[in-house]
């Protein structure tokens, strides 16, 4: 199946393409489809924003569309930055500014109280209006400084509780306290919020596609 990866974020596109192609899909980017669209993310939840983006991009391209809305939820900050993760410092997609603001907000929070989770809501939308929503999360904590270069967004600050084992479904405790940005792709995809959401999508999609169209989302 050919699907549209509905994101303007280069880092997210690389991750979506890597995971979806591993699951057997042919992925087309917005650039490859000639789509220049940036729908407003006005939802109050990750799931609402994912659904908004999936509907807008699916209508624009006429292909099955996978949209993700994701973010970092920090316990000590009452769940912030949450749905505002990409624009936490004021400018959408300014990773460096977002990370600086997060470190400043967490400066007085001691080790042991820096728990956080990455959350991903994924919406798979068909041109006939049917949609499937799934989600995934990854628990971890916020580091005291940035480490690693293999990632984007808050990856250099997020330390997952576990890491994946390449070539296996096993996970291991992250005793070395490596950040998302220090993990190899396979180590991250096995435990990441987006990897887990897309794995659920792959599991649920066959049954979803075989359902009758009655009651479809308009």
* 2-210: in CATH 3.90.950.10: yes
Tell me the H-state helices in 28-90.
Answer: 46-61
Residue ranges for the chain with pLDDT beneath 70: 214-218
Q: Which of 68, 69, 95, 155 is catalytic?
A: 69
Determine the pLDDT at residue 211. Answer: 84
Determine the pLDDT at residue 174. Answer: 97
Respond yes or no: is residue 69 known to be catalytic.
Answer: yes
Residue 181: CB partners within 8 Å, gap ≥ 6?
Answer: 146, 147, 148, 149, 150, 151, 155, 156
Question: What stretch of H or E contains 98?
Answer: helix 95-105
Determine the 3-state secondary structure of 112 from DSSP: coil
Model-level pTM? 0.90
Q: Where are the domains of the chain?
A: 2-210
Q: Which residues pair with 26 in a beta bridge?
A: 2
Q: Which two tokens stand for residue 201?
A: 């999508």
Determine the pLDDT at residue 214. Answer: 61
> What is the tens place of the pLDDT at every residue in 70-94?
999 999 999 999 999 999 999 998 9
Q: Which two tokens stand for residue 23?
A: 């699951």
Q: Which residues pair with 65 in a beta bridge?
A: 4, 125
> What is the tens place of the pLDDT at every residue in 174-186?
999 999 999 999 9
Contact present, 130 and 106 (Cβ < 8 Å):
no
């Amino acid at each position: 199946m050919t699907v549209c990866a509905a994101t303007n974020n280069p880092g997210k596109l690389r991750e979506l393409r890597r995971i979806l192609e591993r699951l057997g899909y042919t992925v087309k980017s917005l650039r490859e489809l000639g789509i220049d669209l940036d729908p407003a993310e006005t939802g109050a939840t990750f799931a609402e924003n994912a659904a908004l983006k999936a509907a807008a991009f699916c209508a624009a391209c006429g292909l099955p569309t996978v949209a993700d809305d994701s973010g970092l939820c920090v316990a000590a900050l009452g769940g912030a930055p949450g749905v505002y993760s990409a624009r936490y410092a004021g400018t959408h997609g300014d990773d460096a500014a977002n990370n600086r603001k997060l470190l400043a907000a967490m400066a007085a929070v001691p080790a042991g109280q820096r728990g956080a989770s990455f959350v991903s809501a994924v919406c798979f939308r068909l041109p006939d209006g049917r949609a499937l929503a799934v989600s995934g999360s990854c628990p971890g904590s916020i580091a005291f400084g940035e480490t690693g270069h293999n990632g984007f967004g808050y990856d250099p600050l997020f330390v997952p509780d576990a890491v994946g084992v390449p070539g296996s479904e096993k996970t291991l405790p992250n005793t070395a306290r490596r950040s998302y940005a220090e993990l190899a792709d396979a180590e991250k995809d096995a435990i990441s919020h987006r990897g887990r959401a897309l794995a659920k999508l792959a599991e649920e999609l066959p049954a979803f596609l075989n359902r009758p169209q009655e009651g479809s989302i308009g």
